[in-house]
Structure 1
């Protein structure tokens, strides 16, 4: 792979120009627990947090530099929606932040037992050994 050049016209070039894959979401507590942790790889990005009830009043933009680790919990997890801004909107501290090729790894903890959809809806499976 090291000997191969990156192909700019490869299929993932489409993702560079795509709108954000998620827009203004608060993940449901049925599917994940109190903490969401992410790793932002390859490119800087701006994440916008917007209060779910006071959308036009309480807005916070966060710079996610490439290779950063971020954690959302408590108020940020439940009271704010979050979105990664498109290149058209992506400004931080008065400067344009251009997203290029981007990979994110999102980790969520398990929902609390009282929030789970059904008793056995979430099944844990062992990872096969190689």
Structure 2
């Protein structure tokens, strides 16, 4: 009873303390530091898009059927070259079956205008249930200004934190089978991270984190 009452009070205080613009997508949760700074909120919200149910159940399974056999030959790693990821395994894939090529073409056509050259290699990142991605900004050596990622197997919360004003942060709910597209301001001005399973909250509700696979398309640097 007490726990539920405290949770309700916390939610009420949170609702009072944070100004939520009418145009803000439901998948976004702003910190109170955005109050009175609508231009900052709009900049990040317009440069980070989330498309729920981008994949059907069958399409998700089609991708998993193609990548799982190889992923199972890899071990989860707990040290990353730039200390950005904990509990992961990853690979790059160039060749896909015809059904999955169609899915990736849909991602690229939505994420990249005709004038932009997507990288042909697709990054596959498998995060263990207890793994997580630490705050980072992806290196410009490896990709350009747009990152498009499919979320497989699990919901999760991605947090964006403005690099030069840490109090400005946004929690973004990434549902299973959703697509996110990060570009411009969100890509360069904000770090991004995937929250640990024991910290995975969105609007004061737990978002259960399981093993999660990201299938990520990028453009050339």
For normalisation by structure 2, the TM-score amounts to 0.42
Question: Displacement of 1:70 after TM fit?
Answer: 0.4
Question: Displacement of 1:90 after TM fit?
Answer: 0.7
User: 1:31 & 1:77 partners in 2: Cα distance?
Assistant: 13
Question: Displacement of 1:93 after TM fit?
Answer: 1.4
- Count of matched residue positions in the alignment of Structure 1 and Structure 2: 98
Look up the match of 2:215. 105
> 5+ residue gaps in structure 1?
1-9, 112-130
For the pair 1:39 / 2:150, whether they are aligned, the reply is yes
For the pair 1:17 / 2:96, whether they are aligned, the reply is no
Q: Over residues 7-40 of structure 1, what are the superposed CA-to-partner deviations in whole Å (9 max), with x where a residue is unaligned?
A: xxx977x72223x1x3111012222101000000
Contact 2:129 2:197 in 1 (8 A): no
**Quick check: which one's helix share is greater?**
2
| RMSD, aligned CA | 1.7
Contact 2:134 2:193 in 1 (8 A): yes
The partner residue of 1:84 within 182, 188, 194 is: 194
User: 1:101 & 1:31 partners in 2: Cα distance?
Assistant: 25
What SS does structure 1 have at the residue aligned with 2:196?
Answer: coil
- Structure number with greater CO (CA < 8 Å, separation at least 6) is 1
For the pair 1:71 / 2:193, whether they are aligned, the reply is no
What SS does structure 2 have at the residue aligned with 1:70?
Answer: strand
What SS does structure 1 have at the residue aligned with 2:193?
Answer: strand
User: 2:146 & 2:211 partners in 1: Cα distance?
Assistant: 26
> 5+ residue gaps in structure 2?
1-71, 77-86, 88-127
For normalisation by structure 1, the TM-score amounts to 0.70
